[in-house]
Chain A
Amino acid sequence: MKFPGVFTLFITDKNTKPPAWKALINLTIIIGAAALMVIVSLKRIDVKLDYSFLPGVTFRLRKGFEMTLILSICSLILSLLIGMVSAAAQNSRILVIRYLFMGYVKLIRGTPLLAQIYLFFYIIGTAWGIENRILSGILILSVFEGAYISEIIRGSYLSMEQQQIEIGMAIGLDKAGILREIIFPQMLARTLPALTGQFASIIKDSSLLSVIAVTEMAQTMREISSLNFKMFECYFLLAALYLLLTLPITYFSEWLERRFGYEN
């Protein structure tokens, strides 16, 4: 299709990157429109954003930010372990193990994190005496994210071509060699971008731990806003702080995808 003159500013060819200036124009339009929408909305409900309270709360904010980071990083490591075990276990020849982990993945992916947090913390946590909220938080989050990571890993193993493994046999590699030289690097290339993306989800999902009063970023913000009644200011800031963490990760994930994209 041919577009007349000025429209070409907004059009690019399929599967190609637009030139930088074109991207800039279009991005400016979108960001401008979004900002305008927010400003107009705030005007209509007669709210003026006032961040004068910030200097007084920076210490608490930093503590909350750090707690979110700690929760996320610990959960990332633990959920990776759980995910790997679960993915392998679903291939187990021992049926109890196989069904246990299949059930785990279905149950966790099929229920909201919020319900899991309440049920785990107030029933299992209380019954078994796990009272440390941070530790509970990390455990719950890891179990939750582990189910997703398990599926990422399992999917990537299933998409592994059988012939690649046969090539390994043909060139004389033993089982360990095939695992190390073929299966592992090929699965890594396929899962790393998705796993990185999952880390962004972990960071966001950790905000739900505020419901069991873990003072991470969201909980900190909730406390601050309940004292100064600056709801809008606080939640805009909260969103911005999460973006600060997740955006770089998203870009990193896309970069990994290109870096390991040996298949096309």
Chain B
Amino acid sequence: MRIKLDNLTKNFGSQTVLNHIDFEDDFSTLAIIGSSGGGKSTMLRIIASLLEPSSGQVTLDGRAAGSRASDQLDYRRRLGFVFQQNGLLKHLTAMENITLPLIRVHSYEKEAAVQRALQLLDRFGLSEEGSKYPSELSGGQSQRIAIARAIAPNPSLLLLDEPTSALDPEYTIEVLDMIRELKEEGRNFIIVTHEMGFARKACEKTMFLHEGKILEYGESNELFSNPQTPALRKFLTTLLEWNVRQ
């Protein structure tokens, strides 16, 4: 997957969250790290075309989201997005959450959609959960179903915004295991995460966002063992100091 950011800027009022970012590279799995409020979610939502940039544009494999509603729709339909929490539709069961986009957006027949959902639920050990409503699911189950929904139509890229930060440690592990499995089957994804161990071991590349810029970028292992900038060094040691789940 080739991603290209052209002069990407996002302002909220007078606050500049992303500041004229230019970037281009190939990746299969990419982690975005950075301190809280640094614009990681903003960046991911712009890449997903859920938010329009103040200026500049994102291109994925040569296709830009554009500014026309129908183009944006086409663009979004090739992506999967996983929210930090509460990412399921509350009025639908787990199963219906997975089948709704298949039927309404990706023109599956009802039968085929249900088959696909059952297959995914089964694969991720969620068969028992299919008929439950989001309010009846644990945080970890919700997240795994949200991921299953996102990959069900086989998107060309999966975007995950801190999918584990609202979870207890035991659930964090089951969700991260699931994402690693996706990597092993060759899916492309971008994940915003505070799990440095996961970024380092399970993501091919890592990007460090700092003060509206991509301050460092590279092979994950290299970036974590050899941070070049004082800011990244400081970021990593602060995390280590409190031994945030490595």
Interface: B100 (CB within 8 A)? yes
Interface: B89 (CB within 8 A)? yes
**Within the complex, what minimum Cβ distance (angstroms) separates A171 from chain B?**
4
Q: How large is the interface on B (under 10, 10 to 19, 20 to 34, 35 or more residues)?
A: 20 to 34
Report which of B77, B90, B101, B149 forms a contact with A263, defined as CB distance below 8 A: B90
Question: Which residues of chain A are near B50, meaning CB under 8 Å?
Answer: 166, 169-170
Give Cα A167–Cα B86 distance, bound, in whole angstroms.
Answer: 10
- Known contacts: A163-B83, A263-B135, A264-B135. The answer to whether A172 contacts B76 by CB under 8 A is yes
Give Cα A182–Cα B89 distance, bound, in whole angstroms.
Answer: 8
Give Cα A175–Cα B70 distance, bound, in whole angstroms.
Answer: 10
Question: Which residues of chain B are near A161, meaning CB under 8 Å?
Answer: 86, 90
Report which of A170, A175, A186, A189 forms a contact with B81, defined as CB distance below 8 A: A170
Interface: A164 (CB within 8 A)? yes
CB closest residue in chain A, given B72? A169
Question: Which residues of chain A are near B130, meaning CB under 8 Å?
Answer: none
Give Cα A164–Cα B104 distance, bound, in whole angstroms.
Answer: 16
CB closest residue in chain A, given B82? A170
Q: Quick check: A167 and B135 within 8 Å, CB to CB?
A: no
CB closest residue in chain B, given A170? B81
CB closest residue in chain A, given B102? A171
Question: Which residues of chain A are near B79, meaning CB under 8 Å?
Answer: 170
Question: Which residues of chain B are near A173, meaning CB under 8 Å?
Answer: 101, 104-105
Question: Which residues of chain B are near A170, meaning CB under 8 Å?
Answer: 48, 50, 76, 79, 81, 83
Interface: B73 (CB within 8 A)? yes
Q: By CB atoms of chain A within 10 A, which of B69, B79, B81, B91 has the most?
A: B91
Interface 0/1 of B165-193, CB less than 8 Å to A: 00000000000000000000000000000
Question: Which residues of chain B are near A185, meaning CB under 8 Å?
Answer: 91
Give Cα A170–Cα B105 distance, bound, in whole angstroms.
Answer: 11
Give Cα A182–Cα B48 distance, bound, in whole angstroms.
Answer: 20
Interface: B53 (CB within 8 A)? no
CB closest residue in chain A, given B93? A262
Interface: A155 (CB within 8 A)? no
Give Cα A171–Cα B158 distance, bound, in whole angstroms.
Answer: 12
Interface: B38 (CB within 8 A)? no
Question: Which residues of chain A are near B48, meaning CB under 8 Å?
Answer: 170
**Within the complex, what minimum Cβ distance (angstroms) separates B131 from chain A?**
12
Q: Quick check: A189 and B91 within 8 Å, CB to CB?
A: yes
Interface: A66 (CB within 8 A)? no
**Within the complex, what minimum Cβ distance (angstroms) separates A7 from chain B?**
36
- Known contacts: A177-B104, A181-B104. The answer to whether A164 contacts B81 by CB under 8 A is no
Interface 0/1 of A134-173, CB less than 8 Å to B: 0000000000000000000000000001011011111111
**Within the complex, what minimum Cβ distance (angstroms) separates B151 from chain A?**
12
Scan residues 72-109 of chain A and give those whose CB is less than 8 A from a CB of chain B: none
Interface: A174 (CB within 8 A)? yes
Interface: B87 (CB within 8 A)? yes
Report which of B86, B90, B100 forms a contact with A171, defined as CB distance below 8 A: B100
Interface: B133 (CB within 8 A)? yes
**Within the complex, what minimum Cβ distance (angstroms) separates B162 from chain A?**
14
Q: Quick check: B104 and A167 within 8 Å, CB to CB?
A: no
Q: Contact residues of A with B, CB < 8 Å?
A: 161, 163-164, 166-175, 177, 181-182, 185-186, 189, 262-264
Q: Contact residues of B with A, CB < 8 Å?
A: 48, 50, 69, 73, 76-77, 79, 81, 83, 86-91, 100-101, 104-106, 133, 135, 149
- Contacts A/B (CB < 8 Å), 27 sampled: A163-B83, A166-B50, A167-B83, A167-B87, A167-B88, A168-B89, A169-B76, A170-B50, A170-B79, A171-B100, A171-B101, A171-B105, A171-B149, A172-B106, A173-B101, A173-B104, A173-B105, A174-B69, A177-B105, A181-B100, A181-B104, A182-B89, A186-B90, A189-B91, A262-B133, A262-B135, A263-B135
